[in-house]
Amino acid sequence: MDNETTIRMADVAKSFGETKALKKCDFEARAGEVHAIVGENGSGKSTMAKIMSGVLHPDAGTVTILGEQITSPVAAKRVGLATIFQEVLVAEEASVFDNLFVGRDGIFRSEGHSGDRWLEAETILARLVGKPVDLDEVVGRLPLSIKQWIVIARAILRNPKVLILDESSAALDLDSTIRLHGEIDRMRAGGATILIVTHRIAELVRIADRATILRDGVTVGVLEKQEITEANLLAMMTPSDRRASDAKHYAAKGRDGAHAILTARNLATHRSAAAFDFDLPRGAIVGVAGLDGQGQDAFVRAVAGIAQPFGGDVQVRSSSTGKMTSVGTLDEAARAGISYVSGDRKREGIFPQQSIFENLAIGVYRKNLGPLGVIRKPLLKPMFKQEVDRLRIKIGSPSNKITSLSGGNQQKVLIGRAFANDPKVIVLNDPARGVDLGTKRDLYRELRIFADKGGSVIYLSSEIEEFIGFADRVDVFFAGRLFRSLSGDDIAEEPILAAMFGQSRDTSVEFDVERTA
């Protein structure tokens, strides 16, 4: 079955009102290959995946999957196609086991003995997660990364001939992504076709056999494995009028000796974790890294006033008096000049029933109240335009719902909301999850401008390459505490990886770095 074409799209077009998501899209994928679909946010990648999955119907063109035309998700499932969409789709009130097998049975029959299913579920989740998972646990109580594994396991349990992963590693850390790649390798060896929609360049280089690039709804080219590099991808994804400004990253500047604008003393992120101190200098960009569950997420949420730490004190320096003020709640953090951007936009970011304008401007409503508490929205229009232009957010009408935007453009709106508050400190919790490479460059540039003007940044990321050439310092978490701070030449892949796995400065890395490339 190797080299047999399993998916073919020709001259496919799809519009949503006046928005043309796909204009002229051609695509072919073969059995036994991992094929990446790459493009900037709004280029049509997710629309393309939904058309293949039968969720959307094209306005023009032809689509065949394994020789058949797909008209619905049920038809896609019948021919052996499974899709893991960008949003983590789980039944929050149901158990892990029920989430894994939902939709597996017909109306009048049940596939497989419950005991066999239980063992099958335990085995695959332990392999994917790296540890046993309680199948009776209610999914709503689990962290985002485990929910993502449940969605992935659900698709794999169907033994699909074609698997589409739409940003499905976005909620996974480095170690988890390596395990996902191992599962993809096993499926590829069995002759399955794997389609990956992702913005993680390191992931593409590591796993993809070929890559199809989209730009503004049009297929602009296909790269073979040896051609898949950051430079080639950027050149094909980015319009010519923007390429000149796409530098590698924005050179970090040292802030040694600068007064700390934010401090944490004797901070504990977990009941059993050791306490630690943290200082954020004025004008610095501090990266935060760590494998999943090592305390880094709890740390950024604590310094932003989102969640209470188990111990310790977070303080922010007043611009007017120079005195330090304790921050323990979200309101206190906001008054102290801290803005927070979550990477989990569905649960902690967007207001799905509100407009694009309201989602971006809502953070500054309090500052723009007129008589009787009426919001003076006309005064906010220049701010809105400034943030849309700054982050190159692709929108139609500002009055459209936020959900009319692609996932990456929704994330840009949240970042614009943070900038609109004119903060002293921006805390970003994996903000580039599901964001394309060009947008990441725009974000790095704006954060560097912000820092050069005296602002300070705490930037948590699950992607090591984001820190290199961008952060002034990288603080790595391990076992629930700040394990090691890296600066200068130590902000590189191998030292960061070593610290993430609990290796000290003088200990060699005892794992295959090539696996993460």
pLDDT digits (tens, 9 = 90+) for 426-436: 999 988 776 77
Same domain, 200 and 138: yes
Is 249's pLDDT higher than 70?
A: no
Same domain, 461 and 313: yes
* 3-class secondary structure, 304: coil
Read off the pLDDT band of 94 (50, 70, 90): very high
Same domain, 375 and 324: yes
Q: Where are the beta strands (DSSP E) in 93-198?
A: 162-166, 193-197
Between 221 and 364, the more confident residue is: 221
The pLDDT, as a whole number, for residue 476 is 95
pLDDT (tens digit, 9 = 90+) per residue, 22-55?
Answer: 998 999 999 999 999 988 767 888 889 999 999 9
State what percent of residues in the chain have pLDDT above 70: 86
Last residue of a domain, one of 184, 211, 241: 241
Residue 252 lies in a domain: no
The pLDDT, as a whole number, for residue 209 is 95
Token pair listed for 202: 């390191």
Candidate from 85-99, 167-181, 241-255, 278-292 with smallest mean pLDDT: 241-255
Same domain, 100 and 25: yes
- CATH code, domain carrying 72: 3.40.50.300
Range of the domain at 456: 260-516
Same domain, 170 and 77: yes
The verdict on pTM exceeding 0.75 is: no
- Beta-carbon contacts of 472 under 8 Å, excluding residues fewer than 6 positions away, are 252, 253, 254, 255, 281, 284, 285, 286, 451, 487
Same domain, 101 and 144: yes
pLDDT (tens digit, 9 = 90+) per residue, 132-166?
Answer: 999 999 999 998 888 889 999 999 999 999 999 98
Is 108's pLDDT higher than 60?
A: no
pLDDT mean over 179-190: 92
Query: What average pLDDT is seen over the chain?
Result: 83
pLDDT (tens digit, 9 = 90+) per residue, 185-208?
Answer: 999 999 999 999 877 777 788 899
pLDDT mean over 43-68: 91
Last residue of a domain, one of 210, 241, 272: 241
Between 137 and 177, the more confident residue is: 137
Distances (CA, A) of 372 to 366, 375, 376, 379, 426: 12, 9, 11, 16, 31
pLDDT (tens digit, 9 = 90+) per residue, 393-408?
Answer: 888 888 888 888 877 7
DSSP 69-102: ---SHHHHHHHTEEEE-SS----TTSBHHHHHHT
Same domain, 345 and 445: yes
Same domain, 264 and 205: no
Same domain, 277 and 188: no
d(CA 434, CA 216) in angstroms, rounded, equals 17
Residue 246 lies in a domain: no
AA identity, residue 347: R
The pLDDT, as a whole number, for residue 434 is 63
* 3-class secondary structure, 483: strand
State what percent of residues in the chain have pLDDT above 90: 41
Is 378's pLDDT higher than 70?
A: yes
Residue 387 lies in a domain: yes
Contact 460, 428 (CB under 8 A): yes
Same domain, 180 and 50: yes
Candidate from 24-28, 86-90, 190-194, 311-315 with smallest mean pLDDT: 86-90
Q: How many domains does the chain have?
A: 2
Residue 421 lies in a domain: yes
Last residue of a domain, one of 241, 272, 303: 241
Same domain, 18 and 61: yes
The pLDDT, as a whole number, for residue 372 is 59
Same domain, 362 and 475: yes
Residue 248 lies in a domain: no
Q: Classify residue 280 by burial, with Cβ atoms within 10 Å: 0-12, 13-18, 19+.
A: buried
